[in-house]
Amino acid sequence: MKFRKYDQAQTKFVNLNYRKMLGEDSDAVLINGMIEVLDLSGIEDRYDEVGNPAYHPKAMMKIIIYGYYEGFFGGRPLSRRYEKDLGLRYLSNDDFPDHRTINLFRVNFKDEIAEVFAQVLMLCKELEMIGFENLSIDGQKIKANANVFQNKNLKGIRKEKEKIEKLLKKLLESELDFQQEEEKKIKKNKLQRRMKKLEQAAQLLIEAGAEGDDKLRYNLTDPDSRIMKDKRGVLNPDYNAQNTVDDKFQVLTAVNVINTPSDNEQLFPMKEKSEENTGSPHKNTLADCGYSDKETFTQMENDPTTEYYVPDRTMYTSKNDKYSKWNFKYEDEQDVYFCPQGNKLIFIRTSKDKDGLEYRLYRTEDCEHCDVKNKCRKKSKNKGKIRNRTICVYPQDEAIKRMRKKLDSKDGKKIYQVRMSTVEPLHGDMQKNRGFIQFVLRGLEKVNSEYNLLAIAHNVRKIILHRADALKKYLANAAKVA
């Protein structure tokens, strides 16, 4: 025989060992080992003996985390990937769930998924991946699974309701033949469902006080989302994903998704959540100016558990603004301030701002003869007149000055620079490298569950990148104990 037999139509029985084909160093095998040592009893206990046997929670968790690890965030993309991904075949043992089962698992076990994140974090701690030196906190705006054009105020909702009422009336009055009756029924049901959704939205807006405020809006696709401006200045229905990151290997120590655009009140809750997850505070806590308000600086000084490095909103701009209030000199004996031109500002009264914070108001007696009056003074909001220069001095300003001094010191600058290489790269990795630019699920609770899965995948990736050998030893020891 000249050639070996070559018949592509001939079927074969092949005994496949997926693990051997993948290799012990493959991502799927390492993820499999990590999930095997986790305690998933919280999920297992929620299943019942009655009915068809369910997919094993460990298999489901392995498949979903592997999907987020590889950049496949929904049930359908994972199902399409299964046919050609050896890792998914191995993790599912060739018994792959359909996309609905995957999506329901993510939704039904929100609290348990958060617990899995905490367990993976403790694994990072066991592998000595958390340094407890610098903790960086930051938020990123991630697009909601919502249509920006479905963001309506009460006026817009009422207008659409009137339009639907006319369409329904016209539909009921029209005479249609037998063939068109089914089409009419489908259209009627669709309009009625839309009408019900509009009525619910109108009721919620009225309860929120939208009768006298056209700015209050409701998104009919995802009501929990809010219109936010991202770093590019684009307005979209978004969520604000909060992250705390340890600087040793950029491990995520805590995550939370909120639907308010401001980071203002998130500094202490996120820092405390990180401590709860890891069991220890960090030496330093770093955040940008979005996390600071006047009261925050006093609270930071009174917290003995960590050293804060958080600039105020005008720290850097005021350095280039000669006429900022921070560059005015105070004379304690006379209780007066002097502007950079030497003009005196005397105390006028004590007052409160819109947030109820008390301040002392100082004003110059006359700015008319000053050479730089147009650069320093501000126009009145009432009649557009130029007024004498005033400054508002808050009790918290002293704490802000102390924070500025700390950040301007040699050590302070060095510590704060760590933030740029700790939490900022995380956002780029998630959105640019992994492709997570929009939530798949809808509703605040569900997107929190989804973001926890993304955070688990992030920490798993850090373990594989930096501690693969240590992980293998840990898993081998765990197997011996078991």
What percent of the chain shows pLDDT beyond 70? 94
Neighbours of 297 (CB within 10 A): 23
Q: What is the chain's mean pLDDT, rounded?
A: 87
pLDDT band with cut points at 50, 70 and 90 for residue 343: confident
Examine the domain organization and report whether 253 and 288 are in the same domain.
yes
pLDDT in tens, 386-411: 678 888 999 999 999 999 999 999 99
Determine the pLDDT at residue 458.
Answer: 96
Residue 74 lies in a domain: yes
Beta-bridge partner residues of 229: 235
Examine the domain organization and report whether 202 and 297 are in the same domain.
no
pLDDT in tens, 104-146: 999 999 999 999 999 999 999 999 999 999 999 999 999 999 8
Determine the pLDDT at residue 188.
Answer: 76
Examine the domain organization and report whether 421 and 475 are in the same domain.
no
The residues, any chain, with a CB within 8 Å of residue 74's CB and separated by 6 or more, are 99, 102, 103, 440
**β-strands 336-338, 344-352 pairing:** antiparallel
SS3 284: strand
Determine the pLDDT at residue 383.
Answer: 54
φ, ψ of residue 177 in degrees (nearest 5) = -75, 175
SS3 294: helix
Residue 395 lies in a domain: no
pLDDT average, residue stretch 164-179:
68
Cα distance between residue 207 and residue 202, in whole Å: 9
Which has the higher per-residue pLDDT, 69 or 204? 69
pLDDT average, residue stretch 256-276:
94
Determine the pLDDT at residue 60.
Answer: 95
Cα distance between residue 339 and residue 370, in whole Å: 11
Least confident of 163-177, 289-303, 341-355, 468-482: 163-177
The domain containing residue 168 runs over which residues?
Answer: 148-219
Examine the domain organization and report whether 301 and 345 are in the same domain.
no
Residue 460 lies in a domain: yes
Examine the domain organization and report whether 214 and 275 are in the same domain.
no
Which has the higher per-residue pLDDT, 213 or 461? 461
From residue 454, how far is each of 73, 315, 389 by CA, in Å? 9, 34, 51
Examine the domain organization and report whether 304 and 429 are in the same domain.
yes
pLDDT average, residue stretch 227-245:
86
Q: Which of 421, 455, 419 is nearest to 142 (CA)?
A: 455
pLDDT average, residue stretch 203-230:
77
Examine the domain organization and report whether 413 and 295 are in the same domain.
yes
Residue 39 has pLDDT above 70, yes or no: yes
Examine the domain organization and report whether 213 and 101 are in the same domain.
no
Determine the pLDDT at residue 176.
Answer: 55
Cα distance between residue 448 and residue 442, in whole Å: 10
Which has the higher per-residue pLDDT, 416 or 372? 416
pLDDT average, residue stretch 317-341:
88
Determine the pLDDT at residue 177.
Answer: 52
pLDDT average, residue stretch 297-301:
93
Examine the domain organization and report whether 44 and 85 are in the same domain.
yes
Least confident of 158-172, 202-216, 427-441: 202-216
Q: Which of 444, 427, 423, 445 is nearest to 436 (CA)?
A: 427
Examine the domain organization and report whether 154 and 140 are in the same domain.
no
> How many domains are contained in the chain?
4
Residue 227 belongs to what H/E stretch?
Answer: strand 226-229
Cα distance between residue 267 and residue 282, in whole Å: 14
